[in-house]
Amino acid sequence: MTYVLHRVLNSDLPSVIGGDGNYLIDAEGHRYLDACGGAAVSCLGHSNVAVREAVKEQVDKVAFAHTGFFTNKPAEELAEFLVKRAPKGTGDGRVMFLGSGSEAMEAALKLARQFHLERGETARTKIIARAPSYHGNTLGALATGGHAGRRAPFQPILIDVDHIDAAYDYRMRGDGESEEDFALRMANQLEQRIQALGPETVMAFVAEPVVGASLGTQPAPKGYFKRIREICDAHGVLYIADEVMCGMGRTGSLFALEQEGIHADITTMAKGLGAGYQPIAAVLASEAVVSAIESGSGQLWNGHTYMSHAIAAAGALAVQKVIESENLIANVRDRGVQLEDTLKVRLGQHPNVGNIRGRGLFWSVELVRDKATKAPFSASGKRAPKVQKAALGLGLMCYPSQGCANGTDGDHVLLAPSYTSTADEIDQIVDIVARAIDSGLEWFAT
């Protein structure tokens, strides 16, 4: 009997009792190598001593003081850390700290609206995002996301958001089309949509630099985001970069946009920010956005009770210091190359593996019914969840998702190992995933 409202009400979940490096341990003593970080969260594994001590130390000082009355040292130091390392062009921005990626996206949308109101552009109310995408599970964030399956039950109560296509190379790039031409064609969808809506009405464009769970770690084609930046600048539209999943080192640089050569006006981050040691998310506003508010009302029109929570900020600051001092982003790049190469050697010729894609330690394997035609499996077969179940039985955690092909069908298995992963652990991850795919697909052959 359980009184917890679990994700699956009749589930019989093992009880976790401890963590040891990149492993989780259940009450029966079984050990699970965490190859997905829960959902790209646990980037330092589950037993980092420095982070644990930082959290304990802050508990002994003060836990909570409302930000209407006080600031606190961990939040101030963490904000400075992030701003000083943000992509060139961000300037002297500012950061607000919240409790989840969904909260961060809600706050980012409100901040974008406030920016335009402070400047007297009251007609700017429209949001453009991409499909498929996922930006959170609160109503505003869910409406912004373009994942048909996740939106469907709540569609009647979602705000109206316009969507263009995500740059999904595997299914959308034409035969003989260069990467640069594909990038330009996909980015220009934003220009066309802005013109159709009326440039004076568009508030923001929202996109993940590397698409996460909804599309399976899909990087952008070369030049895509430079063109996006040009379009946004030309029409006074704010670009909101959702780095909740792909940021904070996950793809091989602290901010994912560093690799695209641009900056965002507003950036959301969460998972790798605190590595799961405390719930925390953040919104980074560029200097231009902050300046508009400073010269206008001078007040932030969005507030949350647990903003800048001292314990959460202390834990996240410790996480970021560990990542930097131990040069773990270099390990992300090195182990990422190994993960890519090993996946392609082991699964590249598999008859039911259509595509292997990703960046850094953020990779996905897309499963297909027919490799030649790219025909997806039906969602009803639940191939990706079955692969997850098989992998868990072999002592490995991976992240299953469905809907990448058309919003409903299309299975992929996502991997997001810890930044501290060793070469042996990467080899083990690929071996177990390959075995799990074979067993999972065998159960559902049609």
Question: Per-residue pLDDT for 401 more than 70?
Answer: yes
Same domain, 262 and 361: no
Question: Per-residue pLDDT for 444 more than 70?
Answer: no
Question: Per-residue pLDDT for 372 more than 70?
Answer: yes
Within a domain: residue 174? yes
Question: Per-residue pLDDT for 339 more than 90?
Answer: yes
Q: Name the H helices within 176-267.
A: 179-197, 224-235
Same domain, 349 and 250: no
Same domain, 407 and 438: yes
Same domain, 144 and 203: yes
Same domain, 213 and 166: yes
Within a domain: residue 359? yes
Mean pLDDT of the chain: 96
The average pLDDT across 260-284 equals 98
Tell me what pLDDT residue 399 has. Answer: 97
Q: What is the CATH number of the domain that holds 368?
A: 3.90.1150.10
> 200 CB contacts (<8 Å, ≥6 apart)?
121, 123, 124
Within a domain: residue 4? no
Tell me what pLDDT residue 412 has. Answer: 97
Same domain, 250 and 291: yes
Cis peptide, bond prior to residue 132, ω within 30 of zero: yes
Tell me what pLDDT residue 290 has. Answer: 98
Burial of 226 (0-12, 13-18, 19+ CB in 10 A): middle
Question: Per-residue pLDDT for 288 more than 80?
Answer: yes
pLDDT digits (tens, 9 = 90+) for 76-93: 999 999 999 999 999 999
pLDDT digits (tens, 9 = 90+) for 190-210: 999 999 999 999 999 999 999
Same domain, 119 and 152: yes
Percent pLDDT > 90 in the chain is: 95
Same domain, 319 and 331: no
Within a domain: residue 39? no
Same domain, 355 and 318: no
Last residue of a domain, one of 271, 292, 325: 325
The one-letter code for the residue type at 390 is: A
Tell me what pLDDT residue 149 has. Answer: 83
Question: Per-residue pLDDT for 367 more than 90?
Answer: yes
Q: What is the CATH number of the domain that holds 94?
A: 3.40.640.10
Same domain, 188 and 139: yes
Within a domain: residue 270? yes
Last residue of a domain, one of 272, 297, 325: 325
pLDDT digits (tens, 9 = 90+) for 46-78: 999 999 999 999 999 999 999 999 999 999 999
**What residue has token string 């025909």?**
375
The average pLDDT across 278-284 equals 98
Question: Per-residue pLDDT for 223 more than 90?
Answer: yes
Within a domain: residue 42? no
Tell me what pLDDT residue 258 has. Answer: 98
Question: Per-residue pLDDT for 394 more than 60?
Answer: yes
Beta strands, E only, 299-429? 353-358, 363-367, 396-397, 399-402, 411-415
Same domain, 280 and 419: no
Tell me what pLDDT residue 146 has. Answer: 87
Q: How many angstroms separate the first and last alpha carbons of the chain?
A: 36
Tell me what pLDDT residue 141 has. Answer: 95
Question: Per-residue pLDDT for 408 more than 60?
Answer: yes
Tell me what pLDDT residue 150 has. Answer: 87
Within a domain: residue 162? yes
pLDDT band at 37 (very low <50, low <70, confident <90, very high): very high
The average pLDDT across 303-330 equals 97
Tokens representing residue 29 in the block: 């003593």
Alpha-carbon gap, residue 444 to 226, rounded angstroms = 43
Question: Per-residue pLDDT for 446 more than 90?
Answer: no
Tokens representing residue 279 in the block: 């719930």
pLDDT top residue among 422 and 11: 422
Q: Residue 350 belongs to what domain range?
A: 16-34+327-443
The average pLDDT across 170-191 equals 98
Question: Per-residue pLDDT for 443 more than 60?
Answer: no
Alpha-carbon gap, residue 379 to 343, rounded angstroms = 24
pLDDT band at 222 (very low <50, low <70, confident <90, very high): very high
Question: Per-residue pLDDT for 442 more than 80?
Answer: no
**10-44 exposure pattern, b = at least 16 Cβ within 10 A, e = fewer:** eeeeeeeeebebbbbbeeeeeebbbbbbebbbbbb
Same domain, 422 and 294: no
Q: Name the H helices within 198-327.
A: 224-235, 271-274, 287-294, 310-325
> 252 CB contacts (<8 Å, ≥6 apart)?
259, 329, 332, 333, 336, 359, 360, 361
Alpha-carbon gap, residue 39 to 222, rounded angstroms = 26
The average pLDDT across 137-158 equals 92
The average pLDDT across 410-420 equals 97
Q: Domain total for the chain?
A: 2
Within a domain: residue 8? no
Last residue of a domain, one of 325, 351, 376: 325
